[in-house]
Amino acid sequence: MKNIVKTIVMLAVLQFTNTNVFAQTIADSTMQKINEFRGFYETLGKVYPPNNTVSINETTISGVKSYMFNQEMLSKKEIMVYLHGGVYTYGNFNTYQAMISHLARSFNSPILYIEYALSPEHPYPTANNEIFNVYKELQKKYKDYKITVMGDSAGGGLAIALINDVQIANLSMPASLALISPWIDLKCDNKSYETRQALDPILSKDFLYNHALMYASNNIQEADPSELKFKEFPPVFLLVGTDEVLNDDAKNFYAYINPIQKKSKFKEYEGQKHVWPFAHIDSKESMEAIEDIKQFISSN
């Protein structure tokens, strides 16, 4: 609860007075707020310690800094790619090390965390291109490996965009995707942005839309994952809390993708806020979500 209150205060400070902000003209005062929140967001990754039994190796793949958890387990011929959240603007290895180390321990599998470039300094499609290039290199280097993709919040949107890029390039799809609290609609048009706001102490429609503008750099239609169309899609598991404004992002994408991929799955977690395992990795609901993901990945 203490961390949620701190987040509310920081987000209130961070609200931009001008929603028409783009990377090319971003004000120094706005960048100062962004950098301050980046520092604060990093502290949220220290609310619980990392699992010190999990090995971590820094690497560079296709010019993109990345971190491999459980590298010694690559002989199992499986890799999970992790795409972090942070409204395309926040988050780094220090922020996500603890959570991913616990996921790596629970999944007993290698996890590759990609440190993709952040907006507004690097707007769309920089992060998308970096993630696609890493994925392409993984397929080349680790032939016949089972590659899965996991993402939270904006990382969920990036995962969906990755599937579109893979489809266009005619590469092999990942075996499956697991997306926690995915932010998919950059236009922020879904009803839950209004109907769930009173339940969500972390995100708001204005906050999200301002960051969508910075990330998309005046091109939301093209950057928006909810605008992408698919003829095929890997099995995808969409997990979302009942108490978050992004509830309909997951629900609506499931309604769209289920006729295309019958193995897709959607689950709501009662009373949970945005990306609940990030805040409380050992809560009953977090452990339930991790077990649900393990079962889904193992069956696809």
pLDDT, tens digit (0-9, with 9 covering 90-100), for 34-77: 999 999 999 999 999 999 999 999 999 999 999 999 999 999 99
Distance CA 104, CA 108 (A): 6
Q: Are 114 and 66 in contact (CB under 8 A)?
A: yes
Whole-number mean pLDDT of the chain? 93
CATH of 2-298, picked from 3.40.50.1820, 3.40.718.10, 3.20.20.140, 3.20.20.70, is 3.40.50.1820
Could you tell me which of 246, 241, 240, 242 has the C-alpha nearest to residue 205? 246
What pLDDT is recorded for position 22? Answer: 46
Q: Give the model's confidence band at 18: pLDDT under 50 very low, under 70 low, under 90 confident, else very high.
A: very low
Average pLDDT over residues 10-22: 48
Report whether 242 contacts 199 (CB < 8 A).
yes
271 phi and psi, to 5 degrees? Answer: 75, 10
Compute the distance between CA of residue 132 and CA of residue 71 in angstroms, rounded to an integer.
Answer: 21
Measure CA of the first residue to CA of the last residue in the chain; give whole Å.
36
pTM, entire model: 0.94
Contact between 200 and 207 under an 8 Å Cβ cutoff? The reply is: no
Evaluate the CA torsion angle 49, 52, 53, 57 in order and state its sign. Answer: positive
* pLDDT greater than 60 at residue 103: yes
- The whole-number pLDDT of residue 11 equals 55
- Percent of the chain residues past pLDDT 70, beyond the cut: 92
The pLDDT value given to residue 16: 52
* CA–CA distance, 90 with 95 (Å, rounded to integer): 9
